[in-house]
Chain A
């Protein structure tokens, strides 16, 4: 198993179930990838501002007007389970 990864914990955070062979394989591959990524530590980035985006973005406001983009049936038509105009999901608690 990986020295660095708690793969079970990460998978749980990602709401992703992994089987045993995937856990083993991913932990091994991600060890390699993270070892590669660790080369960024060679770089001194003190004083460098992080660049989250290439464009000078700022919030864009618009009037909050009601408009119908497409009918309700279009939203619901793709849902795996639906009932009386609502999305249906399995039991939430318990």
Chain B
């Protein structure tokens, strides 16, 4: 019997309904029947997972009660797990075996988790559809002809299809929230600095953040408790108190003010998504929350700002892939420089190259002030918008994506259109805020729709509490795709 949630599995393990090894076998059977269609994983960590499950059973037998003891989880393949390949879905890292654990991975393992495998993504987390993977596109479990979103599409699809009980994703401009929304699961991007980035392969260091992807908000809170907190190995991890997020759940939401950003409900949003959002707002009002209109006047500049800054940081971060210390190296080079340029030509995929070129351009002599510096200034204006909005409200309620899951290949040839679909998620990374996708409805065609709850810096508690309260009143998050 496949448990629906981490909370259920914890009970099952604690009450001796099944062992961690049996639970692992159940998940593996599910993977065996669904993975051929969905292709959520890049690789499974077979032997490691069995050893971890056996160790968990021993710890359970010894009376231990760690928060994730025996819980089978998946990890996006840009987060290192010692002894397992970490490919970033790129040819250039195809054979890279991580010599250490990311702090988030290490904390999951200390809490007793069993790591099933590493999930698919857009190469180096650059994309919104998981089609930019060197290995394979992942399919949306709700409609195999459609994309699962991206870049954490593998993690979202694996959770949705029941091929893990929870997963880690990473979010630089929406890469947890948009795929969570497309696949009908819960996905939290914590405040920048809440979760250590040590061992997360860098894309845009001032924006990247690791977060949980789960079926329920309660499970997301459980995972954030484990992975959150200051880490001496990441100097940008914030030294702020880590509350018990599980305890934040169940507080009364009556009287809380939800801000509705008027710029997020203009033309360009799919009418079905707008309808689901209005319904979500009504549900939250019934629970006693108050609706206030807020304005984020620089929203229309967010995509442009993001692609300047994210690509600039990426072009710098990805300069480390040079074929010397690890990863792929091109053959038959005349000299060192020739080896660099050929290795990068053959090792990187198209979207990564496009972003390296754009990032190099905006940082290049003569353009730095016009683009990079300008972008940093507009970023300050975007953050200021949120500071003003949060004077009027406690949480912002918004869509995640203006469009429903689209068909494979539909947007692949038009990068600008693909970038524009990130309009509702990107500003949140620029401002460093916490935000969570929660399932809030379906299109007439049966595709999931997600709402986005955005909080103040380091106020994941309000975001989680409102999301949890919403899930107590709705059942969208409990629906399973017809696989």
Any A CB within 8 A of the CB of B360: yes
Contact with B along A77-94 (1 / 0, CB 8 A): 111110000010111111
**Interface range on chain A (Cβ under 8 Å from partner):** 35 or more
How far in angstroms is the closest Cβ of chain B from A89?
A: 5
Chain A residues with Cβ under 8 A from B326's Cβ? 78-80
Is A90 within 8 A of B339, CB to CB?
Answer: yes
Is A91 within 8 A of B335, CB to CB?
Answer: yes
Chain A residues with Cβ under 8 A from B301's Cβ? 39-40, 43
State whether A70 and B345 are in contact (beta carbons under 8 Å apart), knowing that A37-B304, A48-B380 are contacts in the complex. Answer: no
Is B327 within 8 A of A78, CB to CB?
Answer: yes
B345 touches which one: A10, A17, A69, A91 (CB < 8 A)? A17
Which of B95-103, B160-168, B287-295 touches A? Answer: B95-103
State whether A33 and B307 are in contact (beta carbons under 8 Å apart), knowing that A15-B319, A40-B301 are contacts in the complex. Answer: yes
Residues 291-342 of B contacting A (Cβ, < 8 Å): 298, 300-301, 303-305, 307-308, 315, 319, 322-329, 333-342
Is A81 within 8 A of B329, CB to CB?
Answer: yes
Chain B residues with Cβ under 8 A from A74's Cβ? 99
Is A15 within 8 A of B341, CB to CB?
Answer: yes
Which of B41-49, B368-376, B398-406, B466-474 touches A? Answer: B368-376
Any B CB within 8 A of the CB of A3: no
Any A CB within 8 A of the CB of B348: yes
Is A45 within 8 A of B374, CB to CB?
Answer: yes
Which of B179-187, B251-259, B350-358 touches A? Answer: B350-358
Chain B residues with Cβ under 8 A from A18's Cβ? 345, 353, 357
Chain B residues with Cβ under 8 A from A24's Cβ? none
**Interface range on chain B (Cβ under 8 Å from partner):** 35 or more
Is B432 within 8 A of A54, CB to CB?
Answer: yes
Any A CB within 8 A of the CB of B431: yes
A22→B298 CA distance, assembly (Å): 34
- Mostly, the B contact residues are helix
A79→B305 CA distance, assembly (Å): 37
How far in angstroms is the closest Cβ of chain B from A84?
A: 16
Any A CB within 8 A of the CB of B55: no
How far in angstroms is the closest Cβ of chain B from A23?
A: 10
How far in angstroms is the closest Cβ of chain A from B88?
A: 14
State whether A14 and B336 are in contact (beta carbons under 8 Å apart), knowing that A48-B381, A54-B383, A78-B97 are contacts in the complex. Answer: no
A25→B319 CA distance, assembly (Å): 22
Contact with B along A44-61 (1 / 0, CB 8 A): 010011111111010010
State whether A26 and B357 are in contact (beta carbons under 8 Å apart), knowing that A15-B322, A33-B307, A78-B325 are contacts in the complex. Answer: yes
Q: Name which residue of chain A comes closest to B371, CB basis.
A: A37
Any A CB within 8 A of the CB of B7: no
Chain B residues with Cβ under 8 A from A32's Cβ? 416
Is A29 within 8 A of B354, CB to CB?
Answer: yes
Chain B residues with Cβ under 8 A from A43's Cβ? 298, 301, 378, 381
Is B379 within 8 A of A51, CB to CB?
Answer: yes
A62→B381 CA distance, assembly (Å): 34
Is A90 within 8 A of B319, CB to CB?
Answer: no
The 26 listed contacts between A and B (C-beta, < 8 Å) are A7-B357, A13-B364, A14-B315, A16-B344, A16-B345, A17-B344, A17-B345, A18-B353, A22-B350, A29-B415, A30-B361, A39-B300, A40-B308, A48-B381, A50-B380, A51-B376, A52-B206, A54-B192, A54-B383, A54-B431, A78-B96, A80-B328, A89-B324, A90-B336, A90-B339, A91-B334
Sample of 4 further A-B pairs with CB below 8 A, known A17-B341, A26-B357: A34-B358, A40-B308, A75-B325, A80-B327
